[in-house]
Amino acid sequence: MKDASKPQHHPGTRDSFGSSFGVLVALAGSAVGLGNLWRFPYLVGQNGGAAFILIYLIFVFLLGLPILLSEFIIGRRSQASARAAFKALAPGGHWGIAGVLAVLCCTLIISFYSVVGGWGCEYLFKSLCFDFTRGDGSDLENLFSSFSTSVWPPLICHTVFLAATAGIVISGVKNGIEKFSKVMMPVLFIIMVGIAIRSLTLEGAGAGITYLFHPDWSKVTANTFLAALGQAFFSLSLGSGMVITYGSYVKKDANILSLGAQTAAADTIFALIAGCAIMPAVFAFGISPSEGPGLVFITLPHIFGQLPLGGVIAIFFFLALLLAALTSSISVMEVIIAFVMEEFQMKRRPATILVFLVIWVLGCLCSLSLGVLGDWKVFGKNIFDLFDYVSANVLMLIGGLVVVVFVGWKLGRKEMHDELTNSGKLRIPNWVIDIMLVLLRFVAPAAILAIAVFQWI
């Protein structure tokens, strides 16, 4: 284990983040994405509002944060990408397979994520043409379904989105990912706060606020818990090698406990702001909050069409959606690229091009599976839904389980303490480590197994 604290591959050439703020915005950038702006609001709507949010918050801090810190520990301690990290910390074991699954998980995620990101591009373009404020809004549902099931327009948008992602990642960790996130995360924050203020000050917004903050426990079922835990995993980008990979670019003197906590807090704040931006407006216009996945692409444009200055707000909203999606997609792509670079000894540029091509093809299949390839079904699901299901409901859970067992049981207390305190340089009360150990050893595996069993049966 002695050399686990030294770089394992290409000593001296490994990229790293430049500052703690850079690490924070990159991690928060990965966490804050379509999960916050698209998935969270519609899950809140489908699961009864405030009660779901409360359960979600408990999961984020009780389970999400310890898992996030565990991945951080694995990444920073090994200074290696997903598979090599496990191999460096536990030589000779089979833990590396978890790293391969994580890379596979990211490949599936980015394939459909890029398609949805592409829709974001198209909707930004439409809002720039003031498309939503022109008609009477009655054809918005049609507009969305005919666009997303057509052949060329979504493929072109997916290509643009993926190319933008690759364009950032190809410049490296410090010059690409960190630089982009440092500028875009504050912009994203300002836009979302602005939209939330507009939404909260609408006449009739009160019902939306009650819905968000006043729990109605009668709506809570077993499914609410599953959806909340699944969302906590997805939104914090857990179980998929992201935090391991980003953690491997973090310097040895950074305080990973506080970085992890700040990341979870930032992700939660963004989700709540997105909720405040969307729900009050939905209620003010008398629309049902449980519209499902179409909430952002159908319901919201409908609202923009009726809102004073809605055309301009639409531009800002879809710009925010796109920025949030991009800072996340670069992190998913980086997991795969770091893996390819280290496992096949490739340089960043060819690795990026190779990964781009593979994902581009898979993304095209995802997009087409909503239209012309709709008959291609595996387990009754089209390719898009299959990739979504297998990554979020299977691979991320397996990844999360392996991580907590690895850090909780295999690495254990001493190494955890060592990494969280930077070998004793930082003061962390013992009880923090003790609580984390109990959560990792018992609570998290039980919770993950419980959702897995519920979902797969």
Q: Which region, judged by CB under 6 A, interacts with ligand TRP, from 203-211, 230-238, 419-427, 428-436?
A: 230-238
| Residue 296 or 332 having the CB closest to ligand TRP | 332
Is 103:294 a contact under the CB 8 Å cutoff?
no
β-bridge partners, 381: 378
At closest approach, how far in Å is the CB of 109 from ligand TRP?
5
Residue 268 vs 299, nearer CB to ligand TRP: 268
Q: Which residue minimizes CB distance to ligand TRP?
A: 35
Residue at token pair 């933008």: 164
Nearer to ligand TRP, 234 or 283 (CB): 234
- Minimum distance of ligand TRP from residue 353's CB (angstroms): 21
Residues 96-115 contacting ligand TRP, CB under 6 A? 109
Q: Tell me the C-alpha distance between 211 and 283, whole Å.
A: 9
Residues 17-36 that bind ligand TRP (CB under 6 A): 30-31, 33-36
| Bridge partners, residue 121, by sequence | none
Cα within 13 Å of Cα(18), Cβ side? 12
Q: By CB under 6 A, is residue 237 in contact with ligand TRP?
A: yes
Which of these segments, 14-22, 190-198, 216-224, 328-336, binds ligand TRP (CB under 6 A)? 328-336
How many other C-beta atoms can be found within 10 angstroms of the C-beta atom of residue 140?
Answer: 21
When the beta carbons of 34 and 448 are compared against ligand TRP, the nearer one is 34
CA 285 to chain centre: 29
| Amino acid making up residue 242 | M
Q: Angle 121-245-363 (CA atoms, 0-180°, nearest 5)?
A: 35
Q: How far is the CB of 240 from ligand TRP (least distance, A)?
A: 3
Is 29 or 445 the residue whose CB approaches ligand TRP more closely? 29
Burial class (CB in 10 A: 0-12, 13-18, 19+), 125: middle
Q: Which two tokens stand for residue 55?
A: 């359960």
Q: What is the CA radius of gyration of the chain?
A: 21
Site for ligand TRP in 33-52 (CB under 6 A): 33-36
* Choice from 332, 338, 368, 383 touching ligand TRP (CB under 6 A): 332
Nearest approach, Cβ of residue 267 and ligand TRP (Å): 7
- Cβ contacts of residue 213 below 8 Å, gap of 6+? 50, 53
Least distance to ligand TRP, CB of residue 271, Å: 8
Residue with Cβ nearer ligand TRP (234 or 356): 234
Q: Give me the least distance between CB of 297 and ligand TRP, in Å please.
A: 15
Of these, 46, 245, 299, 328, which contacts ligand TRP (CB under 6 A)? 328
161 binds ligand TRP (CB under 6 A): no
Q: Which stretch binds ligand TRP (CB under 6 A): 87-95, 149-157, 163-171, 237-245?
A: 237-245
The DSSP H or E segment spanning 31 is: helix 20-31
What is the nearest approach in angstroms of ligand TRP to the Cβ of residue 68? 11
Contacts 24+ apart (CB under 8 A), 191-194: 191/316, 191/317, 191/319, 191/320, 191/323, 192/270, 192/273, 192/274, 192/277, 192/320, 193/273, 194/316
- The answer to whether 133 touches 346, Cβ cutoff 8 Å, is no
* Of positions 123, 234, 304, 406, contacts ligand TRP by CB under 6 A: 234
| CA pair distance 245, 399, nearest whole angstrom | 14
127 is a site residue for ligand TRP (CB under 6 A): no
Nearer to ligand TRP, 102 or 370 (CB): 102
In contact, 65 and 264? CB cutoff 8 Å: yes
- For ligand TRP, the binding residues (CB under 6 A) are 30-31, 33-36, 109, 234-235, 237, 240, 242, 328, 331-332
